[in-house]
Amino acid sequence: MDEPRVNLAWLYAITRYGYPPRIEDFYSFIRDAVRLGFRAIEIEVYGEDNLKAVEGERVKLRDFVESNGLSVVNVAGIFPQLLSPIDGVRERGLELFRRSVELATFFNAGLTQTDTFTPPIEFIGSKPYSTGIVFAERYRVKIPVGFSWRGFWGMLVKVMRECSKVALDHGLRFAIEPRVGETIANSDAMLRLIDEVGMDNFGAVLDVGHLNAAKELIPLSIEKLGDRVFYVHASDNDGRDNYHWSPGRGVVDWDSVFEELRKFNFKGYIAIDVGGGDIRDRLDDEVVQARRFIEDIGARYGLW
């Protein structure tokens, strides 16, 4: 049997250390991963200042990762400038993303990732993810004069294609994670984007918690995306609020999820994406429980 392809997601670092974590917290996160029984992690950089800090520490960080017996399987570069309507700002976002891809290759990761953020419409009051994941939040929006969804979509496709090319030039896969409230919020939008970007190295992060909160049927989501599921974020919730609990605590049918992953011969990593303020006081216990659950069910369905 192969070693389980299970890693610790960045949500753990966000929950314990804030967002974005300071550079010293990266080292703490690495220690946490070892203490909790992981052999692999993902890393995220948000914005130019965070990117510069990680670039400046990259040699020490890589040495620390390797000396602790870990590998980095995904480096996410999160830069809102990527989808700016202003050409110069968008080009700056692409340059920042290119630098994050170089970090991914430096850490020997096989995957890179970004977000599609909230659409450029006007939020009156609360805005998704402005203060993290907030449950039962109500949104009031206004469509700006002159906004064109088709125009914005065309720009999104072009940017994601450029990001895919940058990743391909560095020998990496590139993925987007559909998230509640973002431009790409469900598996159908993800599938349409994959088709229009038209790059073989472009695929999806299947975030089970987000999709379940959006009332998706997760096995059907996998059936739609097929072998374009490059990576999985594993968490559970009640199907109503966007909690990120340990798998098995919510309503997700994990047997059906793993049946579908086996059907498409999924060989990527499954990240334990457990966290949030509601479980901060028992975070470690939830994460260990989640790791054991995914390792066991993955073995039962022959994923490793």
Q: Domains in the chain, ordered, with CATH?
A: 6-300 (3.20.20.150)
Q: Dig out the tokens for 304 from the structure.
A: 């490793």
With H, G, I as helix, E, B as strand and everything else as coil, classify residue 163.
Answer: helix
Asked whether the beta carbons of 194 and 177 are under 8 A apart, the reply is no
With H, G, I as helix, E, B as strand and everything else as coil, classify residue 30.
Answer: helix
Q: Is the pLDDT of residue 303 over 60?
A: yes
**Confidence (pLDDT) at 2:** 83
Q: Dig out the tokens for 283 from the structure.
A: 């975070």
Q: Is the pLDDT of residue 162 over 80?
A: yes
**Confidence (pLDDT) at 136:** 66
Q: What pTM was estimated for this model as a whole?
A: 0.94
Asked whether the beta carbons of 99 and 51 are under 8 A apart, the reply is yes
Asked whether the beta carbons of 97 and 163 are under 8 A apart, the reply is yes
Cβ neighbors of 29 (< 8 A, separation 6 or more) are 8, 12, 13, 16, 17, 21, 41
Q: What is the mean pLDDT of the chain?
A: 94
1 exposed, middle or buried (CB, 10 Å; 0-12, 13-18, 19+)? exposed
What digits encode the pLDDT tens for the residues 95-108? 999 999 999 999 99
Asked whether the beta carbons of 54 and 103 are under 8 A apart, the reply is yes
Q: Is the pLDDT of residue 1 over 70?
A: no
Q: Is the pLDDT of residue 196 over 60?
A: yes
Residue 133 phi, psi dihedral angles, 5° rounding: -85, 115
Q: Is the pLDDT of residue 131 over 80?
A: no
Q: Is the pLDDT of residue 135 over 60?
A: no
Q: Which helix (H) or strand (E) holds 151?
A: helix 149-169
pLDDT class for 277, splitting at 50, 70, 90?
confident
**Confidence (pLDDT) at 78:** 98
